[in-house]
Amino acid sequence: MTKTIGFGILGAGLIAPFHAKAVRDTKGGKLVAICDMAKERADKLAGEFKTKVYYTLDEMLQDPEIDVVNVALPNHLHHDAVLKCAAAGKHVLTEKPPAMSLQETDAMIAACRRAKVKFGCTVQCRVRKAIQAMKQAVDDGRFGKLLHADAIMKWYRSSEYYHSDAWRMSRKSGAGVTVQQAFHYIDLLQYLVGPARLVQARMTNIAHPGIALEDTLLAFVDFGCGAQGVVQASTALWPGTDVRIELNGEHGTAIMAGEKMLTWKFRDERPEDAAIRSLGSTSQATGASGAADLGHADHTVVIQDMVDAINQDREVVIPVTAVRPTLEIVLAMYQSAARNQPVALPVQDDESIWAWQS
Ligand SMILES: NC(=O)c1ccc[n+]([C@@H]2O[C@H](COP(=O)([O-])OP(=O)(O)OC[C@H]3O[C@@H](n4cnc5c(N)ncnc54)[C@H](O)[C@@H]3O)[C@@H](O)[C@H]2O)c1
């Protein structure tokens, strides 16, 4: 018999309402509680969604109605929260990046394994239909030899966005464009064409004076499969345009813009290709112009998967183990920028990663 799965959202900030709406839209999931140490924020969101409210994670973890905690805290706080959730026997869905280092990520994975709880990550762009079609085409070998895999993210975030909370201006809290916004699209490249073997990155701040972060990343990536790629990511480019994911192989090219399939062309045209060309919508905002300029449909798919995984006693579709290689690429990019030289993977955690020289 399927059980109703209770969710508690930890952190009632910018992304929390998207989780709340997504839980509400699942079949078999129930939003039980909101928790934030900022009382007004917690009260406001709990009032809107008519849930219980907690002001500390410890209190929320004692609630027997909660099966899953959605960790929606600033990036540097994920690690401690996930360890506590695992120790309390709660399943966890953490926001991206899973943590600030590989060591922390491995400790979180080990704790969840020991506690036999599921541990997923909301890199929700993976579930977009256009991305799923690209993944299928890669798995079916339709591209032939993969030649290029690129992510082009020309976005905009205002100075007010960065000043809205201290953690948004701190590299150690995970606020640079590479680990914060571009993480999703570096993740898509990693998901689609596999782990990287070498990266070379340059990071600059071109439009947010007074903030000690990179607002712009330019990077080359060599993937283990032989493809090469470019990641161009910025929050400096007003008004912000839809991110593009581009795959080129010897036998085909696919390009997604935002969530819409823009180009889908293979030498072996198949009957299903016409429908694939119309996947996604140009009217769905995907974060280009502002942090809250998003829908919650992709989060709903990820949260529905958590509900189903618990009820079916199976692994979630996006476990943190599958996102660890993305964090590794991102950390290698920071190392490369700090050292001004290419970095081969695997990388080791290193304090220089979070240093910033303008
Ligand atoms: N998946 C996406 O598309 C997406 C989009 C935006 C943000 N995010 C991620 O979501 C997470 C949260 O980002 P945000 O923009 O919502 O941040 P935010 O700063 O708006 O919200 C975080 C909240 O956590 C609360 N908090 C901090 N420490 C706490 C503690 N110890 N106990 C309880 N509450 C605490 C703060 O008071 C704040 O309200 C980050 O990991 C970010 O990367 C993901």
Write out pLDDT tens, residues 21-59.
999 999 999 999 999 999 999 999 999 999 999 999 999
**12 CA distance to ligand 1 centroid (A)?**
7
Residue 214 — very low, low, confident or very high, per pLDDT cuts 50/70/90? very high
Averaged pLDDT of the chain: 96
CATH of the domain at 245: 3.30.360.10
**113 CA distance to ligand 1 centroid (A)?**
25
The b-or-e profile of 276-302 (16+ CB within 10 A means b, else e) is bbebbeeeebbbbbbbeebbbbbbbbb
Count up the domains in the chain and report the number. 2
Please name which of 168, 182, 209 lies closest in space to residue 358, comparing C-alpha atoms: 209
User: Same domain for 152 and 224?
Assistant: yes
User: Same domain for 142 and 109?
Assistant: no
User: Same domain for 280 and 198?
Assistant: yes
pLDDT at position 85 is 99
pLDDT at position 291 is 87
Digit-coded pLDDT (tens) for 277-316 = 999 988 888 999 998 888 999 999 999 999 999 999 999 9
**Is the separation of the CB atoms in 44 and 105 below 8 Å?**
no
pLDDT at position 354 is 86
pLDDT at position 282 is 86
Res 339 pLDDT > 80: yes
Residue nearest to atom 24 of ligand 1 (CA): 11
pLDDT at position 353 is 86
Residue nearest to atom 25 of ligand 1 (CA): 11
User: Same domain for 153 and 281?
Assistant: yes
Task: Out of 73, 122, 168, 177, give the residue to mutate to test ligand 1, the one with the largest number of ligand atoms within 8 Å of its CB.
Answer: 73
**313 CA distance to ligand 1 centroid (A)?**
29
User: Same domain for 213 and 344?
Assistant: yes
The b-or-e profile of 71-80 (16+ CB within 10 A means b, else e) is bbbbbbbbbe
To the question of pTM greater than 0.95 for the whole model, the response is yes
User: Same domain for 282 and 313?
Assistant: no
What strands, in cross-sheet order, belong to the sheet with 68-71?
Answer: 52-54, 29-35, 5-10, 68-71, 91-94, 119-121
The domain containing residue 309 runs over which residues? Answer: 5-124+295-319
pLDDT at position 322 is 98
Q: Calculate mean pLDDT across residues 120-135.
A: 98
Please give the Cα distance from 190 to 201 (Å, whole number): 16
Residue nearest to atom 41 of ligand 1 (CA): 75
User: Same domain for 90 and 157?
Assistant: no
Phi, psi of 132 (to 5 degrees): -65, -35
Res 357 pLDDT > 70: no
Residue 82 — very low, low, confident or very high, per pLDDT cuts 50/70/90? very high
Res 18 pLDDT > 80: yes
pLDDT at position 139 is 98
> Is the Cβ atom of 11 under 6 angstroms away from ligand 1?
yes
CATH of the domain at 31: 3.40.50.720
User: Same domain for 174 and 120?
Assistant: no
pLDDT at position 1 is 72
Residue 210, CA distances (Å) to 162, 170, 233 in order: 10, 12, 20
Please name which of 192, 221, 195 lies closest in space to residue 131, comparing C-alpha atoms: 192
Res 358 pLDDT > 70: no
User: Same domain for 103 and 228?
Assistant: no
User: Same domain for 92 and 191?
Assistant: no
**167 CA distance to ligand 1 centroid (A)?**
10
> Is the Cβ atom of 43 under 6 angstroms away from ligand 1?
no
Q: Calculate mean pLDDT across residues 244-253.
A: 98
Phi, psi of 348 (to 5 degrees): -105, 145
**49 CA distance to ligand 1 centroid (A)?**
18
pLDDT at position 306 is 98
Q: What percent of the chain has pLDDT over 90?
A: 93
DSSP strand E in the chain: where? Answer: 5-10, 29-35, 52-54, 68-71, 91-94, 119-121, 146-154, 196-204, 216-223, 228-234, 244-249, 252-257, 260-266, 343-344
Res 269 pLDDT > 60: yes
pLDDT at position 32 is 98
Please give the Cα distance from 303 to 203 (Å, whole number): 34
Please name which of 234, 261, 266 lies closest in space to residue 246, comparing C-alpha atoms: 261
> Is the Cβ atom of 44 under 6 angstroms away from ligand 1?
no
Phi, psi of 299 (to 5 degrees): -60, -40
User: Same domain for 86 and 133?
Assistant: no
Residue nearest to atom 4 of ligand 1 (CA): 15
User: Same domain for 217 and 187?
Assistant: yes
Digit-coded pLDDT (tens) for 145-171 = 999 999 999 999 999 999 999 999 999
**Is the separation of the CB atoms in 312 and 3 below 8 Å?**
no
User: Count of alpha carbons within 13 Å of 104, Cβ hemisphere only?
Assistant: 18
Q: H helices within 223-323, ranges in order? A: 273-277, 297-312
